[in-house]
Structure 1
Amino acid sequence: MNHFFGRTGARFICCFNSFHFSLTLNTRKFSHFSGNIESGSWRSMEGLVRCSANCAPLTPISFLERAAKAYRDRTSVVYGSLKYTWGETHERCLRLASALTQLGISPGDVVAVLAPNVPAMHELHFAVPMSGAVLCTLNIRYDSSMLSTLLKHSEAKIIFVDYQLLEIAQGALQLFAKTDTKPPLLVLISEADGQCPIDNITSNTYEYESLLRNGQNGFQVRRPVSEWDPISLNYTSGTTSRPKGVVYSHRGAYLNSLATVLLHGIGSMRVYLWTVPMFHCNGWCLIWGLAAQGGTNICLRKVTPRSIFDSIVLQNVTHMGGAPTVLNMVVNSPDSDKKPLPHKVEVMTGGSPPPPQILSKMEELGFSVSHLYGLTETYGPGTSCLWKPEWDSLPLAERSKLKARQGVQHLGLEDVDIRDPVTMESVPADGKTMGEIMFRGNTVMSGYLKDLKATEEAFRGGWFRSGDLAVKHSDNYIEVKDRLKDIVISGGENISTVEVETVLFSHPAILEAAVVARPDDHWGQTPCAFVKLKEGYDHVSAQEIIKFCRDNLPHYMAPRTVIFEDLPKTATGKVQKFILRERAKAMGGLS
């Protein structure tokens, strides 16, 4: 696959061999395939034809349509006392798509949503693309200023807002009054019982259930003309810099949904607990993937250890996901919140590599954890540590170390490799030589919205550059060591902050830890640890933690500074290291 990007005005043009796909922002329209799409050696074989009988654009919309037939009376969504079947979900999504068109939504328009893991969020993932529009899911931790910026950048025509987040949304829309930009229409998502304790609703605001009732069940779905049409717009989490708009296609979403289902071992009619925010990479594409398998979505407005254990027992949960911080929260929860699991629950975790100690404790509680790796730009999961039966007999500590690896690419990707970012040569599979993780394949983003320079840089050399450093083991399994921006260079030595954090997590007093570089007048940089202690361990000192690290690491890798405080995180549970780097920098250099 070859990538190149050009721009005319505010248009992206992406060329995949002879396939051309463009995103025009000024008109909000998406053009489709052009050029000779019938080129290929198959044309030389007599009697073959490409037509609607044997070729249709790949789209996750088809997963819901099939679920309404194959799993019509099976439960699709559970939210407290509220339950829907797949037949009911399909009908509701048709009505909602119809209502969107009645509000003037045209193919290619952007529809935004600001909501936690509630049924409306699930339905919008199908209804918006069924109307021909592009879904933009927004981080629920954004303030009004950031929300306003992203609504303007995306040119969203409508924003759906959960009632608990209405004040933030209204603040964002008020900022539009200071510009010539027309604000999006607001649709309020009430609580599941239909009650909405909000009085200050303007005439320009619609209510979700009322809007849905006005839609038509017989709505004719606006299917994508091309599978390269955009299906969603995801803004990066902002852990390292200002968020960027990542565009997904129907094709990529379709393939990544199936790949993630396979990675997670989700068979037919399994029960999935939503602890991953649905706004994050469209819930790792599992919102669509669960429809393909007729699974049941257990929605949680607020994720707590008690709600996790209660849901597993009451709803017979078989699968769940979450960042390492969620795992950390579960293993360190009070005994009063924990319950014996009725069966082993499969957990898929992503984000920074989870400490082996956390994986071991999760296994002791009855969870089986698989670690995946990916980015917003790869539709979420891109790799996973595929488990080998011969590893079952290994000691727990060894199994946990293996599970902390990121493994190999899933079936939707062409390749994942560790390469030298300058020479582009693949690093040796020695488990020691670090390089940058690079992707290529059908589940890599179409590009960054309105940011041609960033798109070209990300695809430089024909691969998507992740910005993450890793090693490759002899079995070709990759292991993430750090982000390029996070690596500490001390006296010419590269220090992996992940390795230092793993040791910190093994200290019995430490609940959370993150390591960044602090300026040093002699060494250039030294590791600085930000630490949150467990309850009852307030007596532990910085010197004690430094000594512990020196006893378990080469001396130069041990932190020279330890700061006790809560760690800043994104809504997906990722530590915002760029904030910690600024704090360490403000401390000045050690001498």
Structure 2
Amino acid sequence: MHPIIHARTTPDKPACILTSSNQILTYGELDELANQGAHLLRSLGLERGDTVAVLLENGFDIFTVAWATQRCGLYLTAISCKSSAADLAYIISNSGAKVLIASDALASVAEQAFIQAGLEGLHLFSSAPGRTPFIQARADQPTTAIKDACAGCDMLYSSGMTGRPKGVKPQLPEGPIDEQTPLMRMGQSLYGMDADSVYLSTSPLYHAAPLRWAMVIHRLGGTVVIMDRYDAEQALILIERHRVTHSTFVPTHFVRMLKLPEEVRTGHDYSSLRAVVHAAGPCPVPVKQAMIDWWGPIIHEYYSGTEMCGITALDSAQWLSKPGSVGRAVLGVVKIVGADGQEVPPGTPGDIYFADGPRFEYHNDPEKTRQAYNDRGWATLNDIGWLDEDGYLFLTDRKSFMIISGGVNIYPQEIENLLITHPDVEDVAVIGAPDEEMGERVVAIVQPRIGVVTSPELGEALRRFVREALGGVKCPQQFDFRAELPREPTGKLMKRLLKAEYEGMQPRP
């Protein structure tokens, strides 16, 4: 259950395929490069529990480095390639990284961050003047395994809903490096992942889910097909070309595929697909129904977070009987807690907690860690939801995104899920903006589909659309239009940027 085993049994099998260049990295090559990286890291004095930070685009390097840290007992901190020098410097400093590895394209911002962080003893590998790239530095190292191999893991930083990103630090594994992980068990039991899996990686590998699922495939001996960036039509082409069996998406990816022309959507062979998994936010019911109608009952969903303190999951058949649910717990136990800290009855919204799940901490932030746990030791991701009588979880929204207008709690996700189904809407965000009379007013920020002309009439049509479906209380008082909404490369909406923008505007009476 580890690439070191597959390097011995199937050394010539592709571990990765880079679609932009059709290059292949075999398991034999992956193992040798990871061993060289491990020797280099040990030669720099890194010991179990130390941290290596990487600033790398989608490609082979992130895996050769990741598997090097995995056999050294190190934490891997993969940082967003979109980070500013200031944010990068903060994460390097906060994580206590002893090594930073940057790609050629990001050498300049890495150098700026290195100077801003002002850290003594940080080893920076890059192609900047006076530096040495990591792949060059490791080239003279042995290709054999290090003698003190031990399991490592990741310490990834959340995007941060407010304030600085938070480093999610799990406990290092204590067992052998090839010991089965909870995510492996989930992939095998729920999605049928195995050595024959061909996994299409659609999102940036510096994010938790894409990196972790790709490494699960490597543990099992399958092949990871890497997209350098998501493109809806290209994803369909790659599924057919590489006979993809598994892939992970986010709801935005589904929306973009469904809005492709009919001849594009029906012009490819998807018969190789065994399981398509989505997460990273609730999927609008009509969107998921359309995907099941299109690809069949192979659509799976799970709910979790970078913290991995618990997971819920369900398959297509379960979802069809419980539309809108994100499933039942497969890791930890779901608890819904009211404002008084007590559990609430089924059907009652409250804060979502997980009991009996893996523990974590926010690195160097004991106060945030304390706030993540209640007095019973249950952990929360700060989402709101409710359980039905059968234990199925339904998400309502992020706690930080809830709008309080005139004393009424309004959940933007419900309005967004409706508006995205309108034929004139390409993308949408609903936020609360300051309002002198109501406290907050509901604002819908809409990206129209190409060819749709924005006008007051369009805004009024969308207003009627929401009012008829959800009633007047949840209907946005304001519709604004813009060419594009800020989304991370994974498709995750950066709503915090929009909220900050509107909070800086003059409140309307």
TM-score over 0.5 for the alignment? yes
User: Secondary structure of 2:390's match?
Assistant: coil
Is 2:218 the partner of 1:291? yes
Measure how far apart 1:211 and its partner are. 3.1
Measure how far apart 1:221 and its partner are. 4.8
Amino acid at match of 1:249: Q
Residues 1:262 and 1:161: Cα distance change in structure 2 (over 3 Å): farther
Measure how far apart 1:531 and its partner are. 1.0
Which residue in 1 is equivalent to 2:428? Answer: 513
The 1-side partners of 2:294 and 2:260 are apart by: 11
Tell whether the 8 Å contact from 2:201 to 2:227 is kept in structure 1 after alignment: yes
The 2-side partners of 1:334 and 1:144 are apart by: 40
Amino acid at match of 1:549: V
User: Secondary structure of 1:156's match?
Assistant: coil
Measure how far apart 1:557 and its partner are. 0.7
Tell whether the 8 Å contact from 2:204 to 2:229 is kept in structure 1 after alignment: no
Tell whether the 8 Å contact from 2:448 to 2:454 is kept in structure 1 after alignment: no
Which residue in 2 is equivalent to 1:350? Answer: 279
Q: Which moved more, 1:305-314 or 1:363-372?
A: 363-372
Which residue in 1 is equivalent to 2:367? Answer: 453
Matches within 5 A, 1:206-221: 206-208=133-135, 210-221=136-147
Tell whether the 8 Å contact from 1:437 to 1:466 is kept in structure 2 after alignment: yes
Q: Which has the larger radius of gyration?
A: 1
Residues 1:377 and 1:273: Cα distance change in structure 2 (over 3 Å): same
The 2-side partners of 1:360 and 1:282 are apart by: 23
Q: Of residues 508, 531, 548 in structure 1, which corresponds to 2:465?
A: 548
Measure how far apart 1:526 and its partner are. 2.8
Matches within 5 A, 1:488-567: 488-539=403-454, 541-565=458-482, 566-567=484-485
User: Secondary structure of 1:131's match?
Assistant: coil
Residues 1:409 and 1:117: Cα distance change in structure 2 (over 3 Å): farther
Tell whether the 8 Å contact from 1:471 to 1:479 is kept in structure 2 after alignment: yes
Which residue in 1 is equivalent to 2:305? Answer: 375
Measure how far apart 1:452 and its partner are. 0.9
The 2-side partners of 1:132 and 1:166 are apart by: 26
Measure how far apart 1:310 and its partner are. 2.2
Residues 1:465 and 1:85: Cα distance change in structure 2 (over 3 Å): same
User: Secondary structure of 1:341's match?
Assistant: coil
Residues 1:72 and 1:442: Cα distance change in structure 2 (over 3 Å): farther
Tell whether the 8 Å contact from 1:385 to 1:406 is kept in structure 2 after alignment: yes
The 2-side partners of 1:169 and 1:87 are apart by: 31
Amino acid at match of 1:485: S
Matches within 5 A, 1:83-482: 83-176=24-117, 179=118, 181-182=119-120, 184-188=122-126, 201-208=128-135, 210-224=136-150, 231-251=153-173, 254-281=181-208, 283=210, 285-334=212-261, 338=265, 339-343=267-271, 345=273, 346-366=275-295, 368-378=298-308, 382-388=311-317, 399=320, 402=322, 404-410=324-330, 413-425=331-343, 427-430=344-347, 433-445=348-360, 447-461=361-375, 462-482=377-397
Tell whether the 8 Å contact from 2:49 to 2:172 is kept in structure 1 after alignment: no
Measure how far apart 1:567 and its partner are. 1.7
The 2-side partners of 1:205 and 1:478 are apart by: 50
Tell whether the 8 Å contact from 2:199 to 2:214 is kept in structure 1 after alignment: no
Residues 1:84 and 1:120: Cα distance change in structure 2 (over 3 Å): same
The 2-side partners of 1:334 and 1:222 are apart by: 55
User: Secondary structure of 2:395's match?
Assistant: strand
**Unpaired segments of 5 or more residues in structure 2?**
175-179
User: Secondary structure of 2:133's match?
Assistant: strand
Measure how far apart 1:353 and its partner are. 0.8
TM-score by length of structure 1 reads: 0.78
Aligned Cα RMSD in Å?
Answer: 2.6
User: Secondary structure of 2:446's match?
Assistant: strand
Residues 1:332 and 1:165: Cα distance change in structure 2 (over 3 Å): farther
Measure how far apart 1:163 and its partner are. 1.9
Cα shift readout 1:309-345 (whole Å, capped 9, x = no counterpart): 2211211111111222222222224568654123163
The 2-side partners of 1:213 and 1:403 are apart by: 53
TM-score by length of structure 2 reads: 0.90
Measure how far apart 1:293 and its partner are. 2.1
Choose between structure 1 and 2 for higher RCO, CA contacts under 8 A separated by at least 6 residues: 1
The 2-side partners of 1:442 and 1:573 are apart by: 27
The 2-side partners of 1:249 and 1:118 are apart by: 27
Tell whether the 8 Å contact from 2:14 to 2:25 is kept in structure 1 after alignment: yes
User: Secondary structure of 1:557's match?
Assistant: coil
Measure how far apart 1:560 and its partner are. 0.7
Q: Which moved more, 1:325-334 or 1:138-147?
A: 325-334
Measure how far apart 1:175 and its partner are. 2.2
Tell whether the 8 Å contact from 1:241 to 1:578 is kept in structure 2 after alignment: no
Measure how far apart 1:419 and its partner are. 1.9
Measure how far apart 1:470 and its partner are. 0.3
Measure how far apart 1:458 and its partner are. 0.9
Residues 1:562 and 1:221: Cα distance change in structure 2 (over 3 Å): farther
Q: Which moved more, 1:579-588 or 1:321-330?
A: 579-588
Cα shift readout 1:398-456 (whole Å, capped 9, x = no counterpart): x3x8453211122xx2312222253232x2223xx1011111334342x1111111111
Residues 1:443 and 1:122: Cα distance change in structure 2 (over 3 Å): farther
Measure how far apart 1:258 and its partner are. 2.7
The 1-side partners of 2:188 and 2:113 are apart by: 36
Q: Which moved more, 1:471-480 or 1:330-339?
A: 330-339
**Unpaired segments of 5 or more residues in structure 1?**
1-61, 189-199, 392-398
Residues 1:116 and 1:257: Cα distance change in structure 2 (over 3 Å): farther
Same amino acid, percent of matched pairs: 24
User: Secondary structure of 1:516's match?
Assistant: strand
